[in-house]
């Protein structure tokens, strides 16, 4: 039995984490790229060494934790530093996902949640992909409310990501998460299609 690895993506505020939660409730395993990346930044010694080489010793605090303030400042202010950091972290996350998928090879379907499925290169490690989509005004409101920021700041974050239209073109399925949309029937329909392959 071949395992089908499925990527779940979508812009900030689209609801991809909600879709991932529903899949977990339905009994499916979902790899969380954000959580895994945070763990890799702490535990993977080759990643740590590469980040120290790139950003300096103080990128990690004395207690071993990541200096998040310094990291976010550097990533925000320098696209070239962001690209260099991504070149260190993304391959490590992809390798970790592949190991995780091998550990769960008895499952028919495995899912991975990533806001940057295509941009990180992770899309090449999955068999199918799902785009979770929502209208921009709704995403803006969700992000502003969730992160306690202004609507303008939320809009900036949305604008900094790959446009939904581009993500939709790269994905095999689209789940609509506009107000009033029911997610569960759409998720069940996608699962049905995946299991027919």
Annotated binding site for ATP: 13-18
Rounded CA-CA distance 41/39 in Å is 5
Query: What's the DSSP call for residue 29?
Result: E
Rounded CA-CA distance 113/31 in Å is 6
Detail the residues annotated as belonging to a binding site.
13-18
- Locate the DSSP E strands across the chain: 4-9, 29-32, 109-113, 128-133, 173-176
Residues in the chain: 197
The H or E element that residue 68 is part of is helix 68-77
Using DSSP, state whether 31 is helix, strand or coil.
Answer: strand
125, 94 contact by CB (below 8 A) = yes
């Amino acid at each position: 039995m071949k395992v089908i690895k499925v990527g779940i993506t979508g812009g900030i505020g689209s609801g991809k984490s909600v879709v991932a939660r529903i899949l977990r409730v339905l009994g499916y395993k979902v790899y969380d790229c954000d959580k895994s990346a945070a763990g890799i930044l702490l535990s993977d010694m080759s990643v740590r060494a590469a980040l120290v080489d790139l950003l300096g010793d103080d990128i990690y605090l004395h207690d071993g934790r990541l200096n998040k303030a310094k990291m976010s400042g550097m990533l925000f202010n320098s696209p070239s530093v962001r690209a260099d950091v991504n070149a260190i972290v993304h391959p490590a996350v992809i390798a970790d996902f592949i190991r995780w998928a091998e550990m769960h090879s008895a499952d028919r379907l495995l899912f991975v949640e990533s806001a940057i499925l295509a941009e990180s290169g992770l899309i090449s490690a999955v068999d199918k992909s799902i785009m979770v989509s929502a209208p921009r005004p709704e995403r803006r409101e969700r992000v502003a409310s969730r992160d306690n920021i202004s609507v303008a700041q939320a809009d900036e974050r949305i604008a900094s990501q790959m446009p939904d239209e581009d993500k939709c073109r790269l994905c095999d399925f689209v789940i609509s998460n506009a107000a009033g949309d029911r997610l569960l029937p759409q998720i069940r329909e996608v699962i049905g299609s995946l299991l027919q392959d």
